[in-house]
Structure 1
Amino acid sequence: MMVPATALAGAIVFGMANGAIAASFAVSGQTFKVGASKLEGDGFKQYGGFVREKDGTAHPVAVSEITSAELYDLCQSVKVPDMPIVLTINAGGGGKPATAKGLLIDMDSLGGDATFENIKIGRDATDLNSGATPKSFGQSADHVTIIGVEQVTRSTSAAIFTLNGLKLKVNMGKDAKECF
């Protein structure tokens, strides 16, 4: 009995690590900001979805999957509600980008100058991820480059996320500025 259960658990972990199965968790309900001077990614997929808070509150999101990504001059900021406090994380500077494998982003918005290689727009989202809503809109590209990334996000997960040159700081008062 242990062998099939162990094999199933191993297959699930392997699928999550390779981006085939999304890690599922309740979101906080609070957004955070992610900025980068440049994102380079291979294996790009995007489609609509929903994330849920513990109390069941649903938020519509754009889901982006990227098989492997490099993020230059990464900045992530989270503002503490109703207080002049912002937590910031910086990484990927000095020409040594932050990297991610199996990156999954649930976002409210994304801005920047984007270039897609071999893009396919209007695909059925279930062709991109079996957990997506049937007959819903999806798009994919072999490679994406986004210059001046400004993203408002609800959740991010990755099989591996390497933050080269990591700097985490709690900023208070007049220094409590978000990434953008």
Structure 2
Amino acid sequence: MVLVPGVAVCAAVGVAMAQGALAASFFISGQQFQVAADRLTARGFSLYGMVDVTRKHELVPVVVSGFRHATLSGLCQSVVVDIPVLGTQTLRLTGGDGRPAEASNLFIDATSESVAEANFGSLDIGVAQGAVTKGPIRPGDRDSRFFDPDGVAQQSLTTTLDDVRVTAVAVSAGTLNVPGLRLRVEHGDHACF
């Protein structure tokens, strides 16, 4: 019974993200989760520092990866939760295996990221955050007290990332279409990586 409300909320968030209905601005839970993709290809990429805020007003420093338009093959998202009496449970969302998932204005707030290989076209490293034009800046971030217009950022016109592994605290998108979306709860730790 303890698990049902949490799973229902996570499922609703997953479905809302898939339908592009989730608002881009929200308090984060503070719980980390994993996002993985076999390949992420994007037009319009940005990378900049930010601070997210939990409902308890705790500050969480993150690196925001922004993609104006992205395709993701072999998408996986997982969150592992310890439930009293039931033990460890994993909520796992997968899709984009046969046909890639597509997203517009995708933002991933990460605490760590790794890729096996990264290819950038028309790359700028060291551009001021306030001068980013090739990739997107999340709506509202420019007005945030944590956004430093003179802070360092990265941008490129095109990006291809292979074997993407991200530990994140938030993901938002203008639209997210996931062919073959599968959502399941599994006993034990079945994280994406």
Give structure 1 regions of 4+ aligned residues with deviation exceeding 4 angstroms: none
Please report how far the alpha carbon of residue 23 of structure 1 lies from its aligned counterpart in structure 2 after TM superposition: 2.3
Report whether the alignment pairs 1:177 with 2:171.
Answer: no
Report whether the alignment pairs 1:162 with 2:180.
Answer: no
Percent of pairs identical after alignment?
Answer: 34
- Unaligned stretches of 5+ residues in structure 2: 1-19
Cα distance in 2, alignment partners of residues 49 and 32 from structure 1: 18
Q: 1:122 aligns with which of 110, 116, 126?
A: 126
Structure 1 match to 2:111:
108
Higher Cα Rg, which structure = 1
TM-score by length of 2: 0.78
Count of residue correspondences: 157
Structure 2 counterpart of 1:145, one-letter code: T
Deviation per CA, 1:16-42: give whole Å up to 9, x if none: x9xxxx922100010110111100011
Q: How does 1:13-52 map to 2 (within 5 A)?
A: 23-52=24-53
Cα distance in 2, alignment partners of residues 53 and 81 from structure 1: 20
- SS of residue matched to 2:39: strand
Residues 45 and 159, structure 2, Cα contact 8 Å, conserved in 1: yes
Structure 2 match to 1:148:
163
Structure 1 match to 2:91:
87
Please report how far the alpha carbon of residue 100 of structure 1 lies from its aligned counterpart in structure 2 after TM superposition: 0.3
Cα distance in 2, alignment partners of residues 38 and 47 from structure 1: 21
Cα distance in 1, alignment partners of residues 82 and 164 from structure 2: 24
Residues 24 and 174, structure 2, Cα contact 8 Å, conserved in 1: no
- SS of residue matched to 1:177: coil
Structure 2 match to 1:75:
76
Deviation per CA, 1:133-179: give whole Å up to 9, x if none: 12111010001110000000110111100011000010003xx3100
Deviation per CA, 1:38-71: give whole Å up to 9, x if none: 0001100111000000111001000111000000
- Unaligned stretches of 5+ residues in structure 1: 1-16
Query: Comparing both chains, which one has the higher relative contact order based on Cα–Cα distances under 8 Å and sequence gaps of 6 or more?
Result: 2
Please report how far the alpha carbon of residue 106 of structure 1 lies from its aligned counterpart in structure 2 after TM superposition: 0.7
**What do you get for the CA RMSD once the two structures are aligned?**
1.5
Cα distance in 1, alignment partners of residues 103 and 81 from structure 2: 26
Cα distance in 2, alignment partners of residues 74 and 134 from structure 1: 32
TM-score by length of 1: 0.83
Cα distance in 2, alignment partners of residues 41 and 171 from structure 1: 32
Please report how far the alpha carbon of residue 89 of structure 1 lies from its aligned counterpart in structure 2 after TM superposition: 0.4
- SS of residue matched to 1:34: strand
